[in-house]
Amino acid sequence: MASLRPQLGASFAAVRALSLLGCRPPPATCSTSAAACGAAMEPVPRWLAGLRFDNRALRALPVETPPPGPEGAASEPRPVPGACFSRVRPTPLQQPRLVALSEPALALLGLGAPPADDASREAREAEAALFFSGNALLPGAEPAAHCYCGHQFGHFAGQLGDGAAMYLGEVCTAAGERWELQLKGTGPTPFSRQADGRKVLRSSIREFLCSEAMFHLGVPTTRAGACVTSQSTVVRDVFYDGNPKREPCAVVLRIAPTFLRFGSFEIFKSTDERTGHAGPSVGRNDIRIQMLDYVIGTFYPEIQAAHASDSVQRNAAFFREVTRRTARTVAEWQCVGFCHGVLNTDNMSVVGLTIDYGPFGFLDRYDPDHVCNASDNAGRYAYSKQPEVCKWNLQKLAEALEPELPLELAEAILAENYDAEFRRHYLHKMRRKLGLIQAACEEDAALVAQLLETMQQTGADFTNTFYLLSSFPVGPEPPDLADFLTALTAQCASLEELRLAFRPQMDPRQLSMMLMLAQSNPQLFALIGTQANITKELERVEQQSRLEQLSPAELLSRNRGHWADWLQEYRARLEKDRKGASDAAAWQAERVRVMHASNPKYILRNYIAQNAIEAAENGDFSEVRRVLKLLEAPYCMVGETAEALEAAEPEGTGGAAGRRRSYSSKPPLWAAELCVT
């Protein structure tokens, strides 16, 4: 009988949730699923009743009317020519259940703080689970899937589109703002191709947490208002290794001014010479003009007003602003150690936001060649390559805007603005991270480059090293640096960590065979296209050999020497900065304040997300909610709210709980084994 209690509890909870929402539960003999009943009864929202929809995008851009046919025909995979959206309906989930809400994100929509009493809070969560799962539609919502194309890993893929996401509509707030709502994971659309349009709990938790983490870090991003899980499951082969398993379906509520992207303008692309793919709306320049009018008029009204009588100059000003925003956003990524993982053109926002959190990751040990996406075998989207990749993507946007923006003019704008804006914003952020608050100096770029080189040489933790530098002792009389060097080298990679990081990835016999092939038949070896991988593997073997000859004491001594050299340069630069201030005490206080406001203590490391995912998959959502609160205050000082939350975390002896540690410490060794695809 004990095994039946969870099922009975879920049933009683569903009935109570429906009654709290003013819905009549289905008869006891009804065989229809709770999810289907929830959608069919059209419950009246209470908490969400004040959301006022005004779906401008569907009025301004062409919408495909689904072809006639049986139920579900609207979601059949197909080309969608001559349209930017296709009307769809979410597919209900079985017994949706709220994982977490982001109160700061929902506040954008004018939704108030959570109630104090349990009954009201329970009703609010039940309503969120029902409407933010797609099982019921809010009054005024008009679900639709957006049609777009994209260059994926450098190759034009043709029509892509919202294969797992749905536009719900645009909410207008009392503050005069307009926010697009989107559900991700609500079932098939015409753009799902051979997929099921579902997202699983692990990826949904990662997107939910990272969207909010990035916002609170100060990085331009889409937001996540809710994460809902369910009893519905799908089969996923997580690592593409032939070991599929069933996973629970989940949905994320995403919020942004718009989810239009570079790929939105690529639906007009003619047949690509390399891939043979073409956009579904080739030759429809009238739609391209409509889209430009809508995007610029809605999201860049100052540009529209300044160039109302000259469309070419208007479009040039638009492209210039997108270029600058993109450069600034990428600079923000680099300064917090964020790796996107899938920087295809269909994942680039036309308003400069970070969108589509898939196999993302934050740097732990500083490695400019770090690749966070295990599927990116060639390292196209490595951390250090992100600025150049985004510039390449802007080139593709420029090509997609022609003839409304002559390509020669767009390329000149890109050449003139992107690199300069990236360098300017990156150095501005890095100076603040280093506490250089007076006038900029020419040598600052070299100082930053030397710092990153030292971090790479010592395997230093990116986030913790910057955070620690705020306590670097400064003054006219240099104090003893021994204690500071001890703290700093504690953030460097241990011998065990380095051996794990540089362990060979190929069987020695396979490597030997590939090297023999390179010597005997270089033409065939070049065709295989693995030269870069072989070079990296040889570097790993060489590095592993050096590490075998190194003792922990020698590593520590070497690391202290590297850091002592750089700190000498840093101290000299800080002294120069201090001399530029009229009040040394005020300068010191401001330096520390700026550094603490620029160097986060908490980021969403992979192992932190994994702990939350493991707990949630076992039905415990408290860790997701605790981590969310922690990430809402990433720049917390010691003794503030986030620190108190961390101190209050429960002790455990097994599973995720047993592996917990302070989330501001270096990641544990097992974190290096985590793989995200």
Active-site residue list: 346
Q: In this structure, what token pair is assigned to residue 400?
A: 């997609």
* Residue 398 and residue 415 in contact, taking contact as beta carbons nearer than 8 Å: no
Work out the number of other CB atoms within 10 angstroms of the CB of residue 490.
16
Q: In this structure, what token pair is assigned to residue 649?
A: 């975390």
* Residue 220 and residue 354 in contact, taking contact as beta carbons nearer than 8 Å: yes
Work out the number of other CB atoms within 10 angstroms of the CB of residue 308.
10
| Closest C-alpha to 514, from 501, 527, 496 | 527
Q: Residue type at 148?
A: Y
Q: Report in angstroms the alpha-carbon separations of 343 from 160, 329, 382.
A: 15, 13, 10
* Residue 327 and residue 425 in contact, taking contact as beta carbons nearer than 8 Å: yes
Q: Residue type at 438?
A: Q
Work out the number of other CB atoms within 10 angstroms of the CB of residue 231.
16
Q: Report in angstroms the alpha-carbon separations of 17 from 102, 252, 275, 497.
A: 20, 20, 51, 49
* Residue 201 and residue 209 in contact, taking contact as beta carbons nearer than 8 Å: no
Q: Tell me which DSSP letter residue 377 carries.
A: T
Distance between alpha carbon 308 and the CA centroid of its chain, in Å?
35
Which residues, including other chains, have CB under 8 Å from residue 217's CB and lie 6 or more apart?
332, 336, 600, 603, 634
Q: In this structure, what token pair is assigned to residue 502?
A: 């540089």
Which residues, including other chains, have CB under 8 Å from residue 557's CB and lie 6 or more apart?
none
* CA–CA separation, 334 and 322 (whole Å): 18
3-state class (DSSP) for residue 650: coil
| H or E element at residue 487 | helix 482-489
To the nearest 10 degrees (0 to 180), the angle between helices 552-579 and 444-458 is: 160
